[in-house]
Structure 1
Amino acid sequence: MKQSIYRLCIELTNKKWSSFVLRKFVQSRLSKPFIPGFIRTYKIDTDELQDEIGEYPTLHDFFIRQLKEDARIIQFGENDAVSPVDGLLAETGPISDELEIMVKGKAYSVLEMLGADDKASSYIGGRFGVFYLSPSNYHRIHSPVDGTVLNRWSLGRHSYPVNDSGLLYGNAVLAKNYREITELQHRQGKVAVVKVGAMFVNSVEYVNESDIWRQGEEVAYFTFGSTVILLFEKDKFQFLGSKSVPREVKMGEKIGNFIE
């Protein structure tokens, strides 16, 4: 019953008109007075900001804020992967032979997530990592590895919450939400970077249209909080075994290494 009520409420609110109204408000100057309250509510470290608080004309501009050049350290390594975002590394684990991953005790289909057999089959028996961004996080997305862009595509029309309630009661949100997928060729194997839209605003904006991604460089940003999923091929990658999951991570922090 609780699950059904949750889904009904989301269906009633997550419509084109509600998304339009919210987007218009946060992108208007009417939203600027809400920035200080947003900072206090989410305890955002303003010392990291590239610009002064008063220089952000809208809440949206603050939400997609950039950081000072030295605010993050990229732990470079040609055989390493780094976190593409600030957020919670919520789950890591194996991709089953049935192309399923387990997140919060629920199974998600990698085939459905990527949309086609030829795209998903490369990741049978591989590894995955799920990174959740809350509203407090820096929302720019960076490349986890050095790689060449093999393909880029988008799937899904609507987005539902990807917080704990959304994962628990939602309908396969990680595989069904609006999502932008970029597949990279690292020298040790392929990596899929799945950028999952959040409720109300299906927006992933690219800032790098190059076919070459460099580890740690900015490639895109979320308009609102969401999730990034990394997929690695079988016997190609291992997450750090010395650190617990779930845990908070910063963009540029080493999360694991390719197996030579």
Structure 2
Amino acid sequence: MHRSDHQPDLPPLQWRAALSLLRRLPQGALSRGFGRLADAHIPPGMRNAVLGAFARAVGADASEAELPLEAYPTLNRFFTRQLAAGARTWPVDASALASPVDGAVGQLGVIREGRLIQAKGRLYDVAQLLEDPAAAARYEGGAFITLYLSPRDYHRIHAPLGGEIREARHVPGALLPVNAAAVAHMPDLFARNERLMCHIDGEAGRVAVVAVGAYNVGRISAAFDREWNAPAGASAWVTNRRGLQSAARRYEPAVPVRRGDEIMTFHLGSTVVLVFEPGHVTLDPGLKPGDAVRLGQALGRWG
């Protein structure tokens, strides 16, 4: 049983003050401003220096990128880089649940009474996360895991299991930070921030893949439905555009995906929450909050 009658571990006072101020600022407009900077063209002769400095500052491994630094015309294009062939591997075992991203484990466990763990002393509702009470009911008693991506990580999101996408949803919202301080301090953070999600139906039941946006750009693009992205072009996206309302999409015929197929991309962000139907997926009991994971790493198994 989840417990919520103990106090959360709050971040230092300076962080709480900064987060309180940020809640009062126009996060979407500020993030769009950062997005314009990330889309600024970098002259070819400066790309090695500029992008190399960024990679060193955040700890990104540029040697894993598909292309040399001088091939990326903007910071956003480098941030959303594809990996070189062979940089990641996928489990041979067809029943393995694979990590959809590079990142770190936030929280994991079982959904109880419709709630997931955000941090110590902080729970939030799966119905609010999915913005769909009927869909949320399917996941009661199932496993969940939260994966946080830092700026150094590879930021494309891949299918953790094979199946078909019949439903997807975009939920506009806040663009608050999702670092450890914010997760500890802000109630309902993942259900409050803007997010793009899809549900994959397959032999492992249904899994919700929820990409949560964050402060600083906050764009998420959909590889499973490229027509949803705007404006048109290589750096198109679904989220953090003015005037959008919550929107659900249903696909007939369904969109087939194999384990490992790219399904979404973060353009400077954030966190992925995986939610599973009960009785299908068992997470690796050795996983714990703070563990680093890599794309394709086995996180558990289904069946």
TM-score for the superposition, normalised by structure 2: 0.80
Letter in 2 for 1:150: R
Of residues 15-24 and 224-233 in structure 1, the stretch that sits farther from structure 2 once superposed is 15-24
Out of 122, 136, 154, the residue aligned to residue 120 of structure 1 is 136
**1:224 pairs with 2:268:** yes
User: Which residue number corresponds to residue 118 of structure 2?
Assistant: 103
Of residues 28-37 and 164-173 in structure 1, the stretch that sits farther from structure 2 once superposed is 28-37
Percentage identity across aligned positions?
28
Out of 39, 49, 52, the residue aligned to residue 65 of structure 2 is 49
User: Which residue number corresponds to residue 151 of structure 2?
Assistant: 135
**1:9 pairs with 2:21:** yes
**1:161 pairs with 2:205:** no
| Distance in structure 2 (CA, Å) of the matches to 1:18 and 1:243 | 36
Out of 179, 184, 202, the residue aligned to residue 218 of structure 2 is 202
Does structure 2 retain, via aligned residues, the 8 Å contact 1:83–1:250? yes
Does structure 1 retain, via aligned residues, the 8 Å contact 2:61–2:152? no
**1:250 pairs with 2:265:** no
User: Which residue number corresponds to residue 208 of structure 2?
Assistant: 192
Does structure 2 retain, via aligned residues, the 8 Å contact 1:239–1:256? yes
1:194 counterpart SS class: strand
| Distance in structure 1 (CA, Å) of the matches to 2:28 and 2:210 | 23
| Distance in structure 1 (CA, Å) of the matches to 2:110 and 2:118 | 11
- Relative to structure 1, is the Cα distance of residues 4 and 251 closer, same or farther in structure 2, using a 3 angstrom cutoff? closer
1:125 counterpart SS class: coil
User: Which residue number corresponds to residue 35 of structure 1?
Assistant: 51
The gaps in structure 2 that reach 5 residues or longer are 1-11, 226-253
User: Which residue number corresponds to residue 259 of structure 2?
Assistant: 215
| Distance in structure 2 (CA, Å) of the matches to 1:227 and 1:204 | 11
* Structural RMSD (CA): 2.0
TM-score for the superposition, normalised by structure 1: 0.92
The gaps in structure 1 that reach 5 residues or longer are none
- Relative to structure 1, is the Cα distance of residues 24 and 147 closer, same or farther in structure 2, using a 3 angstrom cutoff? same
Of residues 239-248 and 25-34 in structure 1, the stretch that sits farther from structure 2 once superposed is 25-34
| Distance in structure 2 (CA, Å) of the matches to 1:85 and 1:174 | 17
Does structure 1 retain, via aligned residues, the 8 Å contact 2:27–2:175? no
2:135 counterpart SS class: helix
- Relative to structure 1, is the Cα distance of residues 94 and 183 closer, same or farther in structure 2, using a 3 angstrom cutoff? same
Does structure 1 retain, via aligned residues, the 8 Å contact 2:216–2:269? no
Does structure 1 retain, via aligned residues, the 8 Å contact 2:101–2:158? yes
Q: Per-residue CA shift, 1:20-71, capped at 9, x if unaligned?
A: 2211111002595531211111222222111111111111111111111110
Does structure 1 retain, via aligned residues, the 8 Å contact 2:222–2:263? yes
